[in-house]
Chain A
């Protein structure tokens, strides 16, 4: 979460980058652009 009390117009928090990465990965999985991920 952001530390700033008055976020600037073009600022992004660590949270936003993490959410963006997760959503991109989810989309790649949905479009079968990633091989099945094993554990």
Chain B
């Protein structure tokens, strides 16, 4: 997940301003839809062509086509400013898609897999935060940059960094370095995780859990899961959502640590702080899952909700490609990237071991 906004309302002027802002989103939204739909079209066209000619060809999901098309556009012709605001809404569609995906889970499954995820997340976060801080010292990074990298790679990527930055009083440069490193590593994970998962013959559940626990940004974790299989994508979203739910506690811990050293503002009301940082879409996801479990929707209605979620994710995956500027990512210093990369490999191996253990002893 990435940047979020908080918008206070002040009256009619704001309503007019809101209308203008919504109108400014339209070009970028159309671009997201065009790139996402082109990805879907390519998948279907290749599938139909190879099937008609009895050619054995692996199905390449629309997810990959949408991301690759987006990457090509962003890194060749670039994204003109008129599209920027609309393209940035891919985070919004991701969150709406996750809430709607709740319709595909019975609450019992959420509690079972979510409980396992929570246990694994707690172990993984503790070990990975410790490891990242050791690495930061070895590479002599600034302590606050290390904190941002640790939060970003352990919890939920860019949005965790953005949430932690004001709380720990980090400067813009540190946040930019940490975000660039996490984005670059997220892009690498997107393509390496499915390959590793297939080579290890991981089940859909085990792979989905691994992707949800190890890939940083929610958009990339969702895409890495969906690239493996539909079922793996579902589990990846659930595991990642569990991880996201802990962001408030980790950021609060860092805020208290840095304020105790006189290098960040004191935290007043801790409950309000936690609520402010808590990802609200987790509650929406649980609510829709509860309604689906209680039989509030008919089977065709559940199918419609699942398909609405897929359309929302289609816009998200297009946005993941379109917002990745490889030249910008290359401009960061090598040390934050090295710390992030070593940390990511550690977290990937650690969570893989945890998933193997869970698969064996907790019956995924």
Contacts and interface: CB of A to CB of B under 8 A. Distances in A.
Given A3-B166, A23-B287, A10 B100 contact: no
A22 to B, nearest CB: 4
Contacts of B301: 29-30, 32
Contact of A26 (B5, B278, B291): B291
Interface string B86-127: 000001111111011001000000000000000000000000
B34 interface: no
A25 B103 CA distance: 12
Given A1-B247, A29-B308, A18 B272 contact: no
Contacts of B269: 6
7 contacts: A1-B1, A4-B276, A5-B265, A14-B95, A18-B92, A19-B284, A25-B305
Contacts, number: 127
Interface in B282-304: 283-284, 287-288, 291, 296-297, 300-301, 303-304
B303 A36 contact: yes
The 9 closest A-B pairs by CB, nearest first: A18-B95, A22-B99, A19-B284, A15-B280, A37-B304, A37-B307, A39-B307, A18-B96, A1-B279
Contacts of B338: none
B6 interface: yes
A18 to B, nearest CB: 4
B346 interface: no
Interface string B297-324: 1001101110110110000000000000
Given A13-B280, A22-B288, A29-B308, A7 B272 contact: yes
Interface string B159-174: 1001100110000000
Given A12-B6, A13-B6, A18-B96, A26 B311 contact: no
A26 B288 contact: yes
Interface of A: 1-8, 10-19, 21-23, 25-26, 29-30, 32, 34, 36-39
Nearest to B306: A39
B7 interface: yes
Given A22-B100, A36-B300, A2 B4 contact: yes
Nearest to A38: B307
B167 A5 contact: yes
Contacts of B1: 1
Given A2-B6, A36-B304, A37-B307, A15 B279 contact: yes
Contacts of A13: 4-6, 280
Given A5-B273, A15-B279, 16 more contacts: A1-B4, A1-B247, A2-B277, A5-B167, A8-B8, A10-B8, A15-B95, A18-B92, A19-B280, A22-B95, A22-B284, A25-B305, A26-B288, A26-B291, A26-B297, A37-B311
Residue among A7, A16, A18 with max Cβ neighbours from chain B (10 Å): A18
Contacts of B19: none
A39 B310 contact: yes
Nearest to A21: B96
B297 A1 contact: no
B249 interface: no
A21 B308 CA distance: 11
Contacts of A17: 92
B104 to A, nearest CB: 12
B275 interface: yes
